[in-house]
């Protein structure tokens, strides 16, 4: 049995439970939208994943939004969607070479966000307290 034939280990539901990340949106987003970077992380091991597998660590994303994100990523050439002729049908998603090329810049952006998270939070708090409502 080759590596590609072995079942992929399951994705952890705590994959994105980073203690350095709060519940606020992160300052850096990747091409495609809010959830693209997280989908890239779910697929970075090179294994194809089913929609239900992706939902485990991405439990905070609705099925509709995840579907839209996957479609956008497919359209942008970041991943492939493979439909297997089985009953029931099986659909798998995997990164393309273009999608994999985003992993190194994503690592850099994540490192920057971790390093500067407190400064970003402080700037947001300052802005929120200084901003006056527009009449």
- pLDDT tens for the chain, 135 residues: list them: 455 567 777 877 776 666 445 444 455 566 668 899 899 999 999 999 999 999 999 999 999 999 999 999 999 999 999 999 999 889 999 999 999 999 998 888 888 888 888 898 899 899 998 876 665
Dump pLDDT digits (tens) for 77-107: 999 999 999 998 899 999 999 999 999 988 8
| CA dist 108 → 30, 102, 117 (Å) | 12, 10, 14
> Could you please report the per-residue DSSP string of 14-47?
TTT--TT--SSPPS--BTTBTTHHHHHHHHTTS-
């Amino acid at each position: 049995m080759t590596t590609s034939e072995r079942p992929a280990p399951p994705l952890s539901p705590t994959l994105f439970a980073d203690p350095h990340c709060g519940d606020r949106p992160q300052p850096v987003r990747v091409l495609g939208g809010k959830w693209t970077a997280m989908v890239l992380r779910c697929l970075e091991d090179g294994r194809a994943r089913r929609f239900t597998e992706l939902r485990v660590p991405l439990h905070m994303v609705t099925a509709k939004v995840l579907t839209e994100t996957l479609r956008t990523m497919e359209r942008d050439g970041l991943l492939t969607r493979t439909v297997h002729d089985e009953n029931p049908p099986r659909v798998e998603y995997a990164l393309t070479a273009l999608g994999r090329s985003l992993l190194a810049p994503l690592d850099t952006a994540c490192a920057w966000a971790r390093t500067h998270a407190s400064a970003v939070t402080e700037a947001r708090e300052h802005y929120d307290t200084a901003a006056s409502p527009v009449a």
